[in-house]
Amino acid sequence: TYYAAVSRDPGRVPPAFLPDVEGAETPVHEVKRKGGDLRYCQKCGHYKPPRAHHCRVCKRCVLKMDHHCIWINNCVGHENYKIFLVFVLYAVIASFYSMILIVGSVIHSAPKDEQLSSDSSRTLIIICGIILCPLTLALSVLLGWHIHLILQNKTTIEYHEGVRAMWLAEKGGDLYHHPYDLGVYENLISVLGRSIFCWLCPVSVNTGNGLRFRASYDILPSTPPCDLQKIALHSH
């Protein structure tokens, strides 16, 4: 799973991509906060699809970019987000399993007539446990964080942008709603896939090509256009 997360490309923006402004299949167009123009990457020389961002480390735009992970030396994006999530899940399970083994070894490997070699082994086990504790805690928090994001169909970048958008909306007397939040079940299958049997497999089964995404407006067609403008996502 780790190898798959490292080697899988997170998703490239096609050089010939052009946003279909008049297309009915794309009700959401992300624009710049200043000026309201469609997002254009000056470094890559092309328009940015919705939820795509430029990675300074990879030096290119990544589809549905979440973040750049130094531990896998790769961006986490549309094509490998699910693989990254499964990797973190298995890392958490392995960490808890290792903690159980370490605690059991410490408790049951202390006979009254233990020798010097046994003392050295027990000390080494305790040191491993001390190192493993913060690692297990950090991985557990990371897993919980991304589960929280998936349930709202957000990326890490969109979460931080949403905090500012919510503050601006409240300041103007409006109500902010994340445009890609389709409900818990739809949010889950948009990342994990429709087959529950493949949820724990390190394969990418994303819906769509990463250039267009379903929005909550697709589910609520009766929402007036003026309300859509109020809750549209504005990003850099």
Catalytic residue positions? 69
Task: Provide the token pair at 111.
Answer: 């006979």
Among the listed residues 70, 72, 73, 48, the one whose alpha carbon sits nearest the alpha carbon of residue 61: 48
Determine the 3-state secondary structure of 40 from DSSP.
strand
How many other C-beta atoms lie within 10 A of the C-beta of residue 224? 8
